[in-house]
């Protein structure tokens, strides 16, 4: 998937900053001056409410961008807290907006990037509506499989995939083993092959 980096690299002057665990990249109410991309590490966006309760809005991992919506807001509406030592790329929002106004191709690519994210997020959300772990995993595989090879490449540790699917990793491994035992999938190191697409 394309990233902000691919889009604005060499056009927008960026700044890389390093953060330690617990640092704030920005805080709720700060004037919004940048949008961001996580190069390494992890950042959590949370909104503090009355009496100090917080509500998590987003977890941005390496590669992901965040606070894009602040392009159109004078202030940030949440806090961004660094959870592990991280490198963050800063894109000045005025510059980004300038490019959007002056370079239609870049505007289009940015729209493409966001539209693709919307689609991905909708799909992930829809998967969460599936209660059964087995079924959810299987549908995920069907959505991700390459039609030619019947193979799903899993570039991340299985454990992380479990989190993305909203499952305890134990459950994930268990169901994966069950699916394999039933001859529905075949596992290898970094990929899963779908043998049959009926679950029964």
* Closest by CA position to 143, among listed 195, 197, 199: 197
Should residue 199 be labelled a site residue for DNA when binding is judged by CB under 7 A? Answer: no
Which of a copy of itself, DNA, none does residue 186 bind (CB under 5 to 8 Å by kind)?
none
Q: What SS3 class is residue 70?
A: helix
Per CB under 7 A, the list member of 47, 95, 174, 186 interacting with DNA is 174
Which range, of 13-21, 58-66, 114-122, 172-180, touches DNA by CB under 7 A?
172-180
Per CB under 7 A, the list member of 166, 182, 197, 199 interacting with DNA is 166
Should residue 125 be labelled a site residue for DNA when binding is judged by CB under 7 A? Answer: no
Tell me the C-alpha distance between 138 and 116, whole Å: 22
If you write DSSP's letter for every residue of 128-175 in order, what string do you get?
Answer: HT---HHHHHHHHHHHH-BTTTTEEE--S-HHHHHHHTT--HHHHHHH
Question: What does each C-alpha distance from 153 to 119, 165, 193 come to in angstroms?
Answer: 20, 16, 9
Which of a copy of itself, DNA, none does residue 117 bind (CB under 5 to 8 Å by kind)?
a copy of itself
Cβ of residue 195: shortest distance to a copy of itself, in angstroms? Answer: 11
Q: What SS3 class is residue 102?
A: helix
Ramachandran angles phi, psi of 78, nearest 5°: -155, 175
Which of DNA, a copy of itself, none does residue 47 bind (CB under 5 to 8 Å by kind)?
a copy of itself
Which of DNA, a copy of itself, none does residue 134 bind (CB under 5 to 8 Å by kind)?
DNA
Should residue 148 be labelled a site residue for a copy of itself when binding is judged by CB under 8 A? Answer: no
Tell me the C-alpha distance between 56 and 88, whole Å: 19
Which of a copy of itself, DNA, none does residue 9 bind (CB under 5 to 8 Å by kind)?
none
Is residue 150 within 8 A of residue 193, CB to CB? The reply is yes
Should residue 169 be labelled a site residue for DNA when binding is judged by CB under 7 A? Answer: yes
Q: How far out from the chain centre does Cα 104 lie?
A: 26
Nearer to DNA, 111 or 168 (CB): 168
Per CB under 7 A, the list member of 158, 164, 186, 193 interacting with DNA is 158
The residues in 28-47 that bind DNA, with binding defined as CB under 7 A, are: none
Residues engaged in binding DNA (CB under 7 A): 131-134, 157-160, 166-171, 173-177
């Amino acid at each position: 998937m394309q990233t902000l980096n691919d889009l604005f690299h060499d056009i927008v002057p960026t700044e890389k900053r390093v953060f330690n665990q617990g640092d704030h990249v920005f805080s709720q109410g700060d004037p919004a001056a940048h949008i961001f991309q996580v190069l390494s590490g992890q950042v959590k966006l949370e909104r503090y409410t009355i009496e100090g309760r917080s509500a998590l809005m987003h977890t941005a991992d390496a590669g992901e961008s965040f606070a894009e919506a602040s392009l159109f807001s004078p202030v940030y509406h949440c806090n961004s807290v660094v959870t592990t030592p991280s490198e963050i790329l800063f894109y000045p929002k005025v510059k980004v907006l300038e490019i959007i106004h002056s370079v239609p191709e870049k505007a289009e690519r940015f729209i493409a990037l966001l539209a693709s994210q919307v689609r991905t997020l909708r799909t992930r959300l829809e998967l969460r509506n599936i209660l059964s772990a087995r079924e959810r995993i299987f549908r995920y595989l069907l959505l991700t499989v390459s039609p030619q090879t019947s193979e799903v490449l899993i570039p991340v540790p299985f454990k992380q995939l479990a989190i993305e699917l909203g499952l305890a990793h134990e459950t994930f491994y268990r169901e994966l083993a069950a699916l394999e035992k039933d001859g529905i999938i075949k596992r290898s190191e970094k990929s899963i092959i779908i043998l049959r697409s009926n679950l029964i």
